[in-house]
Amino acid sequence: MQERALLPLIHGQIAPNIETETELEFPAVFEAYYKRIYNYIAYRVDCRYTAEDLASQVFEKTLSKLSGYSPEKAPLEVWLFAIARNVVNDYYRSRARQRFFSLDSIRELISGRKEPEAQMLDKERSGRLQQALDTLSAKERNLIALKFGADLKNTEIARITGMSESNVGVILYRSMRKLKSEIGSVEEL
């Protein structure tokens, strides 16, 4: 399911206040969290189309389980990112069982949005970043995705992962040093 398929749901209703978590309605949850969930997943997988599909799966699961959500058990954000983490883990488990040729990467290369040279430079930069991310452990990559993909604070990441805030900070610092040693500076990217 693509983002476009859910847009009529969003535009048809007025978004309630997500901060209070008292009146949760799916369009408001989708609107408030889609970009961050998508970014988190995009850091964890290497294809934009796969990230879109997985983000859609996260919101399909959210829609089906939203009526049973209880703020007493966990904050909404923690609950959503736990669903996203499980969807990504399920994707990698199913992918380990099947190896197939992906047409998504070729489709991305030949799309007509940019000039071919700009597309190749973007693809090269993305490939270098992806290679650098692949050098990280699954735990480090997950924390990087939560920090920079989902734009969460260390305290929020600690709540989601069950780690201490200081441990999150230390692992993020070490992960960034590893990435910097792989890539060099951002200007070189």
CB 52 within 8 A of CB 2: yes
pLDDT band at 51 (very low <50, low <70, confident <90, very high): very high
Check pLDDT > 90 for residue 166: yes
pLDDT band at 98 (very low <50, low <70, confident <90, very high): low
Rounded to whole angstroms, how far apart are CA atoms 142 and 89? 11
pLDDT band at 58 (very low <50, low <70, confident <90, very high): very high
Rounded to whole angstroms, how far apart are CA atoms 27 and 47? 26
Of 124 and 23, the structure prediction assigns the larger pLDDT to: 124
- Per-residue DSSP letter, 145: I
pLDDT recorded at residue 21: 44
Q: Share the mean pLDDT of the chain.
A: 79
Mean pLDDT along residues 22-26: 67
